[in-house]
Structure 1
Amino acid sequence: MPITFNGVGANWPTSEQLRKDLAERDVPLMLSFSRGKDALAAWLAMLDSGIKPQNIHPIYYELVPGLKFTKESVEYYEDVFKTKVTTFPHPAMYRMWNAGVYQPIDRTWIIEASHMPEPSFEDMQQMYREDHDLPDDTLICTGVRAADSIARRTFIKKTGPLTTSKNRLAIIWDWTRGECYDRIAAEGIDLPPDYEWFLRPHPRTGKLVKNSGRTFDGLAAQFLVPLREHAPEDFATILEWFPLVELDLIRNEQR
């Protein structure tokens, strides 16, 4: 069952109401598509509510260029939904390069001389609107959920699922994690391989916790160690872009 708020936040429309309204308005919508369970559930919920497939414009933000497993994963979902997923560089990628993150000294002068821009998510979303002749107020839908964390619950309860200043809508804001997994399973859609590689160990037993996986989203040991084991070619690609990234393995004693 979707969550509800008492008192503050009780006036927000349910995500189902929001989706049905968008379906009736027959407007284009962008979807921030991480390949994860929340983004998949959001896409399915949009279709379930009558939003036309051609009105959904999914965008994937690539943290490290050229990773085989993310490319194949995106292609799989393009085939499932019969929709093109546009891939943009992740804004964090530019920030990391400009900051010299895990870069050897002989690269820093090249990075400094390049004066690479640092576009925001909003910048890229506006580029997409312009390239696809979408209205400037076209919403970017996300799979952000109030039940995902205390911080998100507090934010959505206070401000609601729509952030007007950024044209951003949490389109399944009241869904639980179980609802996301159940909807994906009912459709017979596979989760990306990341969800098996990045399962979280239980703090006491050390056993891997079911449904605790997530998508690749950082240059940290929790991602690098499994990637080195399960996708060595992609780990080598990360080393090409960030040659000193293994320092994080040393820092976490994961050599």
Structure 2
Amino acid sequence: MPTVIKGQPTSAEVIARLKVEDRPVLLAFSCGKDSLGAWCALRDAGIEVIPAYLWGVPHLGFVDEEIAHFETLFGCEIRQYPHPSFYRILNSCSAQTPPRVRAIAELDMAEPTYEQTWGAIKDDLGLPQDTWVADGVRAADSIVRRASFVRNGVMKRTTHKVSPIADMLKGELMELLGRHGVDLPMDYKLWGRSWDGTDYRFVEPMVREMPDEYAYLKRWWPLLDTELYRGRYIAQAVRSAQEGTAADTGYRRRNANEAKRRSIATDGASVMRVCFAKRRDLDKFCQSVGTEDMIVPHEAASSAFPETSDGRRAQRIAEPRLGRLERTPFASMEYTGDLQADSFSEAGLILKTMEDADRHPGGRAFTDTGLYRCIVFPSRDDMEGFCRRRRLLRFGFQFLDGSRWMATV
């Protein structure tokens, strides 16, 4: 029996409305079971589906294989475009080496919104801007999603987003996929869901099962090993959440513990890269923390460098001063007008620019160096507390001027 969503039409009614309009429907395709289910449900109604996959990293091997498989199964092309978060994550410099800070600044990558992305996709495909964009979101997945449907609707006419299987239960979904001969991709064996990022939940199994794919990800995010190191802190958070649940049956407390665990698991901004202008400054740091390893646990840094303040006084975070930047590499690109092809070309140029920066760091900012170490913290809050209590924010934050720091030690 389908889920009842208060004040909203059933999935059958939604699909009937789309059928009456007699127009193609864009599908936000993820290779996951829900988007596959939405595709099958629309196809059963005789509605033309135009699938589009938004990639978080271009040409990831197993994803390309899955897309090719579903193109054969459904007998149509699945167009691929960059996910808006691709540019946002790169601009944040998460898991990037210090020399890439300048390269990323020179690239000056815009961060499109979801609406802008789907608008550009519709233009690329020659579709009207009022074309519906379908997804596989279901109310049964969580209370939050059900509440969102009640509040915002299953068919959002202002953004032209529609969820055609919103009331479908998992059993119904799996039966639908079975009737269409659709098998779930290998993601579900490895992660229990479709691949969706580079946090610990996804990269730890990938290291064991897909080392070549992990090596490719490290070309984009060279310091991804720090995410593996954070696994020990994530395990601690999981144990803490479980102990809290066992000790307290309160609904709010259990939710708070789970939210904290998830926050730590997905916190990619908890790694400090300490940059050095001279080898002797790096040697002094390594001697202080007792290791020359690239990754330093925050416990070792906390022991090596005692607190100098209570951290309550406000401090302004110093950002790397990059000075005058070179002309953006995108200026040399020749665009074809094919959004898919041009996006892949841009991605190739981005990767080349970042890798060149690693080989030839240049400039006068403290991040323009190949001498650095990474201090890994359980969370961003822990990292900020470490800096505040040692008066280090004047030297940086996620990227910190280690030579200036060592001069005070």
Find the residue that maps to 2:166 and give its secondary structure: coil
Q: Return the offset for 1:164.
A: 2.2
Moved more, 89-98 or 20-29: 20-29
Q: 78-87 or 163-172, which moves further after superposition?
A: 163-172
Shift of 1:17: 1.3
Q: Distance in 1 between matches of 2:112 and 2:152?
A: 25
* Counterpart position of 1:31: 27
2:71 corresponds to: 78
Q: What is the CA RMSD across the aligned residues, in angstroms?
A: 1.5
- Describe the superposition over 1:196-236 as per-residue Cα deviations: whole angstroms up to 9, x where unpaired: 001xxxxxxxxxxxxxx101111111110111122211111
**Cα deviation 1:11-58 (Å, max 9, x = unaligned):** 32111111122123211210000110000000000011221xxx2111
In the TM superposition, residue 193 of structure 1 has moved relative to its aligned partner by 0.8
1:172 pairs, out of 156, 165, 168, with 165
Deviations 1:129-165 (A, max 9, x none): 1122211100100101111111001111222201222
Higher alpha-carbon deviation: 213-222 or 97-106:
213-222
Match of 1:47 in 2: 43
Give deviations 1:68-89, integer Å, cap 9, x for gaps.
Answer: 0000001111111111111111
User: Normalising by the residue count of structure 2, what TM-score does the alignment of the two structures yield?
Assistant: 0.56
What secondary structure sits across from 2:99 in the alignment?
helix
How far apart in 2 are the matches of 1:85 and 1:58? 5
**How far, CA to CA, are the matches of 1:226 and 1:252 in structure 2?**
12
Q: AA paired with 1:72?
A: E
| TM-score, L = length of structure 1 | 0.88
1:57 aligns with 2:50: yes
Deviating more after overlay: 68-77 vs 128-137: 128-137
1:68 corresponds to which of 37, 61, 73: 61
Pick the structure with greater CA Rg: 2
1:166-204 alpha-carbon deviations (Å, 9 max, x no partner): 110011111012211221122221211111001xxxxxx
For 2:152 and 2:114, how far apart are their aligned partners in 1?
20
Alignment of 1:96-175 (within 5 A): 96-175=89-168
Distance 1:217 1:186 in 2: 27
Looking at structure 1, the residues matched to 40 and 182 of structure 2 have their Cα atoms a distance apart, in angstroms, of 10
- Structure 1 position 221 matched with structure 2 position 200: yes
Corresponding residue number in structure 2 for 1:251: 230
- What is the aligned-residue identity percentage? 35
What is the rounded CA distance, in whole Å, between the counterparts of 2:123 and 2:166 in structure 1?
A: 27
Corresponding letter in the other structure for 1:3: T
SS at match of 1:173: coil
1:238 shift after superposition? 0.4
Contact 1:4 1:174 in 2 (8 A): yes
Amino acid at match of 1:177: K
CA distance in 1, matches of 2:128, 2:102: 40
Partner of 2:212: 233
Distance of 1:134 and 1:245 partners within structure 2: 39
Structure 1 Cα separation of the partners of residues 209 and 75 of structure 2: 28
Deviation, structure 1 residue 117? 1.0
Structure 2: stretches of 5+ with no match in the other structure: 236-294, 296-409
Distance in 1, matches of 2:178 and 2:214, equals 30
3-state SS of 2:72 partner: helix
Instruction: Name the structure, 1 or 2, with higher relative contact order (CA <8 Å, separation 6+).
Output: 1
> Which residue of 2 is the match for residue 4 of structure 1?
4
| 1:92 equivalent in structure 2 | 85
Q: Structure 2 counterpart of 1:65, which letter?
A: P
